[in-house]
A = this chain, B = another copy of it.
């Protein structure tokens, strides 16, 4: 699956592009079953709510479950991402976040790349993020909100951030924008939040400023986020690298898989 010229232009101008109905309802079902299977594997990649069983986040399912291993190679995701990056890709990070009903909290406004630069020593902002809607995304369940076109501003340095930061603990608050900064940015870059049915895919730049609101709906909302990185842009950690489920180390170029997700 290739992006059209118009979709490419839209991504480069706005910093994102939304593709509706990339996966069918049956395929999303397959992914959700695979998720429930993978959730049974304990480990540091699994983050639950305080009840110890409700999913909050799960990392790197593509390294444990064949359905997700195929997903990250599926032509419908890998082809557009390669088109945008113009290079061979590997998976830097894959996670599924479940934003809880009523309680799913907002995410502060931030850019992704600056964090990976500082924590992983990632050389360049060439990543393509792929958000796959496992549930319908509406204005009521905390959709991602972008500042349209803000990826063109480049890396917005933070007072607390330092290029070449040694790997280790990163305080996300150090990387969030202040209301004053955001008030200034929205004069040029309006807030937009692409929404759509389950099975939709949102491609976005690792340089775009984004945040999200709360999930005020009565249903949890699951979002799969996959970060492709060019093989040539693999991190060069100064100290010990981060855990592999947070920053993938297998930089073998991904090869497109055109088969169904659930074949045996």
Q: Are the CB atoms of B218 and A182 closer together than 8 Å?
A: yes
Interface string of A207-238 (1 = CB under 8 A from B): 00001111011110000000000000000000
Give the size range of A's interface with the partner: 20 to 34
For window 167-196 of A, CB contacts with B under 8 Å fall at 179-180, 182-183, 186, 191, 193
Q: Are the CB atoms of A214 and B217 closer together than 8 Å?
A: no
If A140-B145, A145-B140 touch, whether A106 touches B214 (CB-CB below 8 Å) is: yes
- Asked whether A101 is an interface residue with its Cβ less than 8 Å from the other chain, the reply is yes
Which chain B residue has the least Cβ–Cβ distance from A191? B140
Q: In the complex the two chains form, what is the Cα distance from A93 to B249 in whole Å?
A: 61
Q: Are the CB atoms of A183 and B145 closer together than 8 Å?
A: no
Q: In the complex the two chains form, what is the Cα distance from A34 to B216 in whole Å?
A: 33
Q: Are the CB atoms of A106 and B218 closer together than 8 Å?
A: no
Instruction: Report the minimal beta-carbon distance from A187 to chain B, rounded to whole angstroms.
Output: 10
Residues of B within 8 A of A145 (CB): 140, 216
Residues of B within 8 A of A140 (CB): 145, 191, 193, 213
Residues of B within 8 A of A193 (CB): 139-140
If A139-B139, A140-B191, A191-B140 touch, whether A102 touches B179 (CB-CB below 8 Å) is: yes
Q: In the complex the two chains form, what is the Cα distance from A101 to B108 in whole Å?
A: 12
Instruction: State which of B102, B182, B217 has its C-beta within 8 Å of the C-beta of A191.
Output: B217
Q: In the complex the two chains form, what is the Cα distance from A139 to B102 in whole Å?
A: 17
Residues of B within 8 A of A179 (CB): 101-102, 218
**Chain A residues in contact with chain B, CB under 8 A?**
101-102, 106, 108-109, 138-140, 142, 145, 179-180, 182-183, 186, 191, 193, 211-214, 216-219
Closest 3 A/B residue pairs (Cβ): A182-B218, A183-B218, A213-B216
